[in-house]
Amino acid sequence: MSEPAPAQSLPDAPALLRASDLSKRFRPQDPPVLQGMSLAVGRDDTYAVVGPSGCGKSTLLYLLCGLLRPDSGRVTYRGTPVRRPHPEIAVVLQDYGLLPWKTVLDNVALGLKIRGVSRRERTRRAREILVALGLGGTEDRYPPQLSGGEQQRVAIARALVGKPGLLLLDEPFSSLDAITRERLQHHLLDIWTRFRVPYVLVTHSVDEAVFLARRVLVMAGRPATFVQVLENKGFGDPTYRDREAFHAMARTVRRALDRAVGAP
Ligand SMILES: Nc1ncnc2c1ncn2[C@@H]1O[C@H](COP(=O)(O)OP(=O)(O)OP(=O)(O)O)[C@@H](O)[C@H]1O
C-alpha cells in the first residue's frame, strides 16, 4: 500500500515543472532553509508536502511558483526557467488574497482581465467555474459577505479560471472548520478528477495529505530535504477515507513524520 522510497528518488518522467537542486538561505548568518531539493511534477501528479512547522514548506512553494528565487538550483516549467510568477502556474495561499471591494465575479475574472480577455468571455468563464464549484448565485456578492469556505472556493475558482497547467496550494483549508474543510478536500479531488490539473499541496494535516495526494513528501531538517517519499496507492477514490487502507497510510505518514523529527 505504501512503499517508502529513498529521498530525492522522484520520477524522471517528462515533467511539467522541474525543480533541480534548490537551495535557499534568507540571511547570510543562518544555515540554508533548504538545500539540494529536487522535484518533478508530471501531468498526472498530485503531491502533498508535510513536515514540521518552520521546516521550509512555504519557502519551497514560493520557489516553485517564482515568488522567491533560489540561491542555487533552478525551476523550469515546460522546460523554461521560472524566474517570476508564471501565468500557467496558479497559486492558492492561506489568506485567499481576494479583493474585498470587488464582487465575486470580478475577483474570479481579474486574471483574465489582466490578460486582455474580453468582458463577455471572462464573465462567461468566471460564471462557469463558479457554478462548477457550487458558487452559482454568489457572483454579485462581495467576499466579506461570504463564509470562509465560500471565500476559499472563490480563491480556487480564481486560480482555475485561467486554465492553469499547475496548481500550488499553501495550506489552503487550514483556517476552516472540519466539515467545510472535508467538503473542500472533496471539491479539490473532484477538480482533479475532472480537469486533471496537477498540484502540489502544502499541509499540516496528515489526513488531508493522504486523501489528496498520490505521493506524500516528508520534508524535514535544517537545511531541509525530502526525507521520505511515500506512494499512496489509494489516492483518487472519493470513498478512500472509509477504508482501512486510508488509516494505514495515515499511520505510515505519521510514523515517517515522527522519525523525521526524531520523536521516540
Ligand atoms: N522572508 C524571510 N526572511 C527570513 N526568514 C524567513 C523568511 N521566510 C521564511 N523564513 C524562515 O525560513 C524558515 C522556513 O519558513 P517556512 O514558512 O517556509 O516554513 P513552513 O514549513 O512553511 O512553516 P509552517 O509549517 O509553520 O507554515 C523559518 O525558519 C522561517 O522563519
* CA of residue 35 to ligand 1 center, whole Å: 14
Residue 142 lies in a domain: no
How much is the pTM?
A: 0.87
Residue 263 clears pLDDT 70, i.e. is over it: no
Write down the residue that cell numbers 522535484 correspond to. 39
DSSP-derived letter for residue 145 is G
Which H or E run includes 89?
A: strand 89-92
Residue 69 lies in a domain: yes
Q: Would you say residue 58 lies in a domain?
A: yes
Q: Which residues line ligand 1 (CB under 6 A)?
A: 26, 33, 51, 53-59
| Ligand 1 center–CA 108 separation, angstroms | 29
Q: Do residues 185 and 193 lie in contact, with contact meaning Cβ atoms separated by under 8 Å? A: no
- 77 within domain boundaries: yes
User: pLDDT for 49-81, tens place per residue?
Assistant: 999 999 999 999 999 999 899 999 999 999 999
Give the C-alpha distances (Å, rounded to integers) separating 211 from 46, 207, 235.
11, 6, 6
End-to-end distance of the chain based on CA atoms, in angstroms? 24
Mutational pocket test of ligand 1: of 29, 58, 93, 201, the residue with most ligand atoms within 8 Å of the beta carbon: 58
With a threshold of 0.90, tell me whether the complex ipTM lies above it.
yes
Instruction: Note the pLDDT tens digit of each residue in 193-205.
Output: 888 889 999 999 9
DSSP alpha helix (H) spans, the chain: 57-65, 104-114, 119-132, 148-161, 178-195, 206-212, 244-260
Domain annotation covers residue 214? yes
Residue nearest to atom 24 of ligand 1 (CA): 53
Cell of 80: 523554461
Atom of ligand 1 nearest to the CA of 61: 18
13 CA distance to ligand 1 middle (Å): 30
What is the CA(53)–ligand 1 centre distance, in A?
8
Report if residue 187 sits inside a domain: no
Distance of CA 202 to the CA centre of its chain: 6
51 CA closest ligand 1 atom index: 21
Report how many domains make up the chain. 1
Specify if 122 maps to a domain.
no
CATH code at 50?
Answer: 3.40.50.300
- Domain assignment present for 9: no
| Interval 232-246 mean pLDDT | 96
> 24 pLDDT exceeds 70?
yes
Residues 94, 171: contact at Cβ < 8 Å?
Answer: yes
Q: What is the pLDDT of residue 13?
A: 55
Ligand 1, residues 27, 34, 53, 55: which to mutate, most atoms within 8 A of Cβ?
Answer: 55
7 pLDDT more than 80: no
73 is in which domain, residue-wise?
A: 16-88+204-263
pLDDT bucket at 178, cuts 50 / 70 / 90: confident
